[in-house]
Amino acid sequence: MVKLNKIYTRTGDSGTTALVSGPRREKHDLRVEAFGTVDEVNSALGVARLHTIGEGELDAMLFRIQNDLFDLGADLATPDTGEKPQYEPLRIVDAQVERLEAEIDQLNAGLDPLNSFVLPGGSPAAAYLHLARTIARRAERLTVELSRRKGESVGRPALKYINRLSDFLFVAARYMNGGGKADILWVPGKNR
């Protein structure tokens, strides 16, 4: 259980931050960048959800994802040091990825097929979901880079989750654009 009595500690004033386990890291460290960008996705989803209130199941899906993103942040903030931890670290599990895939399929089932790329926009909810999608892609790039860095590791379920997340957000944006009917489509070379 998390308990926060004091918000500022002054321990980061030197430009470092504490992970859940292991030594402190520089605030510009790739691991910190990765879980910080996951937090940014979560904040963008908070804004998107201002526009999905009343959308029932989609808003519930987004709420579950926001909780999952805290799990993902905890996963990334707890590097596998090879030592036996004092407690079981929180990790993204395959069941979370499978749930996300099922929700993508559920939302996508009612969408019009695409015959062009979609420009971000349409309804306010769709625009914010597209913004969250692009932040999720950045989080994915950072997480993949972290996973390939010598001496670092990231679990496969975490990598799969962040990859599926941007797919979910793309489909959710189309869902919020009237099932794709209000999508703004890219017209190649239109302004030449």
pLDDT in tens, 75-120: 999 988 777 777 788 999 999 999 999 999 999 999 988 889 999 9
pTM: 0.91
pLDDT in tens, 144-176: 999 999 999 999 999 999 999 999 999 999 999
**CATH class for the domain made up of 26-79+91-185:** mainly alpha
Of 65, 79, 80, 88, whose CA–CA distance to 161 is shortest?
A: 65
Structure token pair of residue 117:
């790329």
Long-range pairs for 142-149: beta carbons < 8 A, 24 or more residues apart: 142/30, 142/33, 142/34, 142/37, 143/34, 143/38, 143/76, 145/30, 146/30, 146/31, 146/34, 146/76, 149/30
Q: What is the distance between the alpha carbons of residues 69 and 168, in angstroms, rounded to a whole number?
A: 13
Report the DSSP beta bridge partners of residue 102: none
